[in-house]
A and B are shown apart, each in its own frame.
Chain A
Amino acid sequence: MHGNHGTEVRVGVPDDFQITINGRALDVAPGTLIIEAAKMIGVEIPTFCYDDRLKPVGACRMCLVDVEKMPKLIASCATPVAPNMVIHTDSEKVIKARKGVLEFLLINHPLDCPTCDKGGECPLQDNTFLYGPTTTRYKENKIRFRDEKTGKKFDEIPLGPEVMLCRNRCIMCFKCVRIVRDLAGEADLGVFQRGSSANIGVLEEVKFANEFSGNTVEYCPVGALTSSSFRYEIRDWLLKKTPSVCNLCSDGCNMNVEWSDGKVYRHMSRRNPAVDDGWLCDRGRYGFDLSRSVDKLTQPRIRRGNALEPCGWDEADALVAKHLVEIIDENKASEVAVIGSTYLANEEAFSIRRFFGDIIKTPNIDFQTDTSSPLEPELIDMIGLDGTINDLESDSLFLFVGIDPAVEHPVMSLRIRKAITRRRAKAVFIGSYDKRLGYFPVENIRIPSTAEPSAVNYIISVLKGVESKPAGANLDFERLNNLADVLKSAGNIHIMAGDDFLSHPDRKAMLSSLVNLKKTINAKLSLLSSRGNFMGVSRFGLYGNPDHSFKRILEKVNSGEIKTMFVFGANPVDEFPDRKYVHDTLKKLEFLVVINPFLTPTASLGSIVYPQPLNGEYGGSFVNIEGRVQKFDPMNDNFRLSKRPAWSVISEISSLMDIGERSSHEAQIRNLMTSSLKGMGGLNNIPDIGAMIFTKSDYDPGEIQPKPFTAPPSDKPFLLQWTHSAHHSGWLTEKSSNLMRISKDQVAYLHPDDALSLEISNGNHVRIGTEGTAVNLPIEVSDKVNKGEILIENSFSENPVNRLLNKDNPITFVSVRKN
C-alpha cells in the first residue's frame, strides 16, 4: 500500500465488496485492513505501532475506530474489513478514546522534547498536537527506570555500538522488536518485565548489532531509540534532505542524505517499494560519515620528490593536459591505460569511455581490479538479477551457490526472508561454510571448497536419472539426492550465485553447471556482483575486454608497453589478488593519475591525485542489481562548483586540450549519453522509482568438466577462503569510523578439529602464511567451516587477504601457526 491518497479507489473488481467510511462508500478487496481502506479515500487514522510492512499487533490503541453494530471500538490496524461495514473514524467515542490513549501514553513519557533527538519529527508530538489533551491531569510520579545493578536512575543504555535506548521515553509499540524478529530474523531485542515496568532490552551478553539495527531507530515513534552517531548533533528541522542512492553494494537502496551547512548528519530511508521498501542496512545508513572523515582528500596533490604535496586544481589539470597532449602528438595512445571502478556513476563511466576510448583512443580500459581472471564479455552481460527484486517475494525455492546474500545484498535479502516467512519458501545453500538469513530456517549443504561445479553436476545427473558420482570429490551425496528430490517437485526455483562464483578458481565449469541446472529444472538464474554500480560501469563503457583487462594491463606495464595510467575510484593495491605484484607493477609507471576520496595505498603511488566526491557531494545515476537506473543529486549546487566527479575532471582537462565543451552539470553528460547510446533515451527523465534499462542476456557455455581437485601441500595444509562482514566491505567503508565501530573485529574461522590438533583456542592469534608473507589474526573456532579450510573476513587493510594471494594460482593454500 503506497502511493497518493485517492488514487487507489477500486471499481468493479470481482470479490470486492462495499464498505462505508465516514459516510463515503467504497469498494475494497477482502482482507484489506480498515486503516488501509481509510487511506485509500484519504482518511488518515493516527497510529504508533502500525506499519504496513510488519505484522499488526494492535498494541498502541491509537487507531481505534467506531464500527456500527460492534459494541466496542476496534483497532483499525489489525482488523480486516467485512462486507457492508459502516466505519466512523471521527465519532465522539473515537475522539475521546484517542485523547484517552494519548493521555495514557504521556503520563509516563518524559517531557524532554527540547533535548530529545526525535523532537520535530516525532509521531507522539504530532499526534498529541492533533488529537491529544492540551494539559495533563497526572499528579503522580512518572516511572523512571533504574540501573538494575546500582539502583540509580539511569536511562542511557547502549544496546549495541550504535543504538542507544532511553527506556523512559518508550511507548511500547513493539516496532523495533518486530523489525528485528519478523524482518531481519534476529533475536537480539526483546521485552523484559511486564505491565508498566515492561521495557525493551538486550541480554547482557548480546550486542544489538545486526545488519538492520538502524531501522529500529528510524521507525521508533518516539526518541526511545537513538543513534549514537546522530544524538545531540542537530535538530531535525535544521536538516535538508537530498534524495540519493546508496552505492556500497549493488542493491541500489534509495535514501535521503540529510545535511546542514555542507555536513552530512545521517542517511534515512527513502522508500522505493520496488527496491528497498523503506529499509536500509547499517552499512548504507551509518556509512554517511565517510564524507566527514578527516582523511578525506580536499584538494589535488602532486608528486614532488618522494612526497605528494597539495596543489591547486589548475596546476594539476594543466599537468595532466600537457601530458595527454604529448601522448596524442606522439601517437602513444596505446601507452595509456584507464582503470575505473564500480564506485563510479554512469555519467563518469560514460565520460571516461568517451574521452579515453574515442578521443585519446586507448584500448586499455577496464574496471575489474579485484580479479586475476577477468570476466568474459558474455558473462558480464549475464550479470544481474533474473526478474525484479519484488519478484523475489513470489519465488518458492532459493538455491544459493557461491553467494552469501545477507552479506553481499543485505536489503535484497530481506525480500528472500519475506518469502521464507510469509510464503514458506525454502532456502538452500551449497557451499563450503555455513551461511544464514537471520534465524529463519535455511539448509546448508556443506561441500569442500571449490567443489561447487561437481556438486551441481551431480544434482543434474540425479535429476536426469543418470546418477554419476564425480571422482575424488568428498560430497554428501545423501543430502544432494534429497535436494534433487525437492528440486524435482518445486516450482518457482531461483538459483543465485554471487561473489564466490565470480572469484571461483574454476568459474567456467561452475557457470556451465549452473546454466545446465537452470535448463534442467527450468529455474531462474541470477549471477550477481555485490559491487556498487557493476552493471552501470560495465555497460556504460568500462567494458571488460579480456585482451585489455586490468590483469593484461599490469603485464603491459611490466613489459614497458604501458607507461601512463589513470585510476578512477579504484584501489587495486587493496583489491587485486596479489598485493605485492600489483604494488610493484604500479610503481613502475611513469605517470599515474589517481582519483579517489582518500589517499589509498594506490593513490600514494600516484604522480597526481585528485579528490573524488562522495555520496551527496555530486550528482549522477547508478544501475542496481536488477538493471534499474536511479538518479541521485548533490546536496546543493555549490557542490557542483566545488566537487569534481570523474566527468568534471575529464571535462576540465579536455577543455584545456581544446577538445570538447566544458560540462558543469551531470545532466549535460546524460544528454550526450542519450544521443550516443542506442535505446538509452531520456536518462534525464528517470522517474522516482527508477527505470529498468538493462536486461541480462542468456549465454550457454556448453558442458565444461570441472578441474580435478588439488590436494594441499604438506607444509601449507589449509585452503584459504575469504568473505566480508555485513557492516563493512572494504577499503572505502574502512574510512567510516561509524562502520568500524559497528563492525566486528577481523577474525579467521577454523574448524574445531583443526584447532584441537594445532592447540589453538578461541581468540588465539595465529600467523596465516604462505610464500614469504603472512597475516596475523585472532581465531574463532567454529564448525561453520570445513576441516582443512580457513575462512578469513577480508576488507581490513591491516591484514588484507590479497597479501596471501597469487595472481597465477587461483587456489591458495596456507600454513596456520600459533603466535
Chain B
Amino acid sequence: MVEFEKVLFKYIDQPGQDTIDTYINNGGYKAIEKAFSMNPEEITEEVIKSGLRGRGGAGFPAGRKWSFLPKGIDKPVYLCVNADESEPGTFKDRELIEKEPHMLIEGILITAYAIKCNTAFIYIRGEFAYGASQLNRAIEEARSKGLVGKNVMGKGFDIDIVVHRGGGAYICGEETALMTSLEGDQGYPRVKPPFPAVSGLYGCPTIINNVETLCNVPHIINRGGDWFASLGTPKSTGTKIFCLSGHINKPGNYELPMGISLRELIYEYGGGIKDGHNLKAVIPGGSSVPILTADKIDVRMDFESLAEAGTMLGSAAVIVIDETMCMVRAAYNMTRFYQHESCGQCTPCRQGTYWMLNILHRIEHGLGEPDDLDQLMEICDNIEGNTICPLGDAAIPAVRSTIQNFRDEYDYHIANKKCMVTMGPRFE
C-alpha cells in the first residue's frame, strides 16, 4: 500500500461534509479566494502546469482545453459540467456529487472565473435524483453566502449555476450530444469541427469538463500546479478515483495516485477475487475499453501504460471478471448496452451494433455459425472510425477484444451449442 494524502476523498466520509459549514471548516472555499487574487490567465497557467488531464475518459489536458477558447469575441462563454456519468462500471462522480457537492461548486467557480464564463450548466444524469437535489441545495447554500450569483465575494464576478437533469440516454455524456440535449433537442452528437471551444452550446464558445476534473481544480489552486504534478506519474499527474466492481471482495471507489499497478489495486485494495476464484480478465477503464487478460495485471494504471498495453484508462472503472464468467455472455451483455444506447443518428453505429447484437445473441443461444466470428470482426472494422461520435468505437472492444483473447470460448459455443464455462445451454 502506498503512503499518500488523499486529495478528493480526504473528508469524503466525514458526516456533514456536504454542507457548506463543514466544507468551509475543512478548508473549503479558500481556493476561490486565492483564485480571485490571480488573474484568469494565471489560473489557466497553473492548471496547465499541474498536468491535470480530463477524468471523463479521453484524458485531454484540462488547462490546454481552456486555452483553446477564442480570444476577443463578444459571445458569452459557457461552462458545461459533464455529470452524466453513465459508462458501465463507473460511479466516482456520483460519490463526489452526493458527498462533496461544494468541492465541485468551488471547482466550477474557479474554472468559470478562469475562462470568463458567467453561466455554468451541470448536466447531471437523470437517474441521479439525490445527486441533483444535493447540488441544488449546495448551490443555494453557496448563493446565500454570496459565492454564487452576482458579484461573488464582492469581486465583481457574476456566476450562475444551473443544474439540468438528463432524460436517461448514455449518449448525452458525449460532449456534443450533451450540448444538443441541453439546448432542448434530441441528444444527437454533432460533427466536429467546429469544436465546442469555438462553437458549442447555443453556438457559443463552451468548455466541457468532467466532475472529477473540476473537483481537482480547487486543490491545484490551493497547493500549486507543481504539487499536483508531483503526484502520480510525469504524464498522468495527480490522484485518480478508481471504481472497482465485478467479482471482487471489496468493490467501491478508491482514490490512489496515478500509476499504481492493477494487481495492487485488485489484491491490496480490492481484497482479491470473490469466493476464492481465479481472475480471468479485467476491463480497466469502463466497458468501452479493450479487455486485459489475467496475465497482464502488472500494468500501471495511468494513461500511457494502459495505452501501451493496448487498452485505455478511460473512466478508470475497473471491472474484474473471474473464471466463472462466460466471455461470450459478457460481450453479448455489453453489446446489448451499446445497441440500446446508440442514438441512431449515423449508419455504422445504428446498424452495426444491431447486427453485432443479433449475431452474439445467436452464438449465445447455440445458433452460432463458423463464419460468425469473421463477420463480427468485419463489422467492428466497418464501424471503427467511421462514426460521428466515439460511441461506435466504444462498442467495438467488448466484441473485438473478447474474440481476440477468448476465441476458444466462442468456438466452443459455436461448435457445441453450449457454453464452455458454465457447460450448459444458455437461455434467457
Contacts and interface: CB of A to CB of B under 8 A. Distances in A.
A57 B386 contact: no
B382 to A, nearest CB: 3
A61 B351 contact: no
B388 interface: yes
Given A104-B351, A108-B354, A193 B344 contact: yes
A97 B386 contact: yes
A139 B369 CA distance: 10
A140 B355 contact: yes
Contacts of A61: 346-348, 386-388
A73 B392 CA distance: 14
Given A71-B385, A78-B191, A139-B369, A58 B358 contact: no
Given A108-B351, A137-B375, A198 B382 contact: no
Given A75-B191, A193-B344, A195-B341, A172 B350 contact: yes
Given A64-B386, A143-B354, A195 B347 contact: no
Given A72-B385, A195-B339, A60 B347 contact: yes
A196 B386 contact: no
B186 interface: yes
A72 B350 CA distance: 19
Most chain B CB inside 10 Å of its own CB: which residue of A107, A195, A197: A195
B366 to A, nearest CB: 15
B297 interface: no
Contact of A191 (B186, B342, B375): B186
Interface string A49-89: 00000001111111010000001110100110000000000
A interface secondary structure, majority: loop
A171 interface: yes
Given A138-B355, A139-B369, A198 B346 contact: no
B345 A104 contact: no
A59 B388 contact: yes
A278 interface: no
A75 B193 CA distance: 11
B340 interface: yes
A194 interface: yes
A73 B388 contact: no
B362 interface: yes
Given A60-B346, A196-B344, A101 B386 contact: yes
A103 B347 CA distance: 10
B interface secondary structure, majority: helix
Given A58-B346, A172-B344, A100 B353 contact: no
A103 B388 contact: no
B53 to A, nearest CB: 20
Interface string A123-151: 00000000000000111110100000000
Contact of A196 (B171, B191, B339, B382): B339
A194 B169 contact: yes
Contact of A195 (B354, B359, B375): B354
Interface string B358-389: 11001000000100000100000110011110
A195 B344 contact: yes
B229 interface: no
Contact of A97 (B342, B350, B382, B388): B382
Which size class do A's interface residues fall under?
35 or more
Interface in B328-344: 339-344
B344 A100 contact: no
Interface in A138-172: 138-141, 143, 171-172
B149 interface: no
Contact of A140 (B342, B353, B358): B358
A439 to B, nearest CB: 13
A105 interface: yes
Contacts of B314: none
Contacts of B385: 71-73
A191 B343 CA distance: 11
B225 interface: no
B191 A107 contact: no
B348 to A, nearest CB: 6
Contacts of A58: 191, 346, 388
Nearest to A48: B347
B386 A198 contact: no
Contacts of A103: 382
B362 A140 contact: yes
A62 B343 CA distance: 18
A64 B387 CA distance: 10
A104 B344 contact: no
Interface string A182-209: 0000000011011111100000000000
A60 B345 CA distance: 8
A190 B362 CA distance: 33
A191 B180 CA distance: 14
Given A105-B347, A172-B344, 4 more contacts: A58-B346, A60-B347, A61-B388, A195-B350
26 contacts: A58-B388, A59-B347, A60-B346, A61-B347, A62-B347, A73-B385, A78-B191, A96-B382, A97-B382, A100-B348, A100-B382, A101-B348, A103-B382, A104-B382, A108-B354, A137-B375, A141-B358, A143-B354, A171-B347, A194-B171, A195-B340, A195-B341, A195-B343, A195-B353, A196-B351, A196-B353
Rank and list the top 5 A-B pairs by shortest CB-CB distance, nearest first.
A100-B382, A198-B344, A104-B351, A140-B358, A196-B354
Interface of B: 169, 171, 186, 191, 193, 339-348, 350-355, 358-359, 362, 369, 375, 381-382, 385-388
Interface of A: 56-62, 64, 71-73, 75, 78-79, 96-97, 100-101, 103-105, 107-108, 137-141, 143, 171-172, 174, 190-191, 193-198
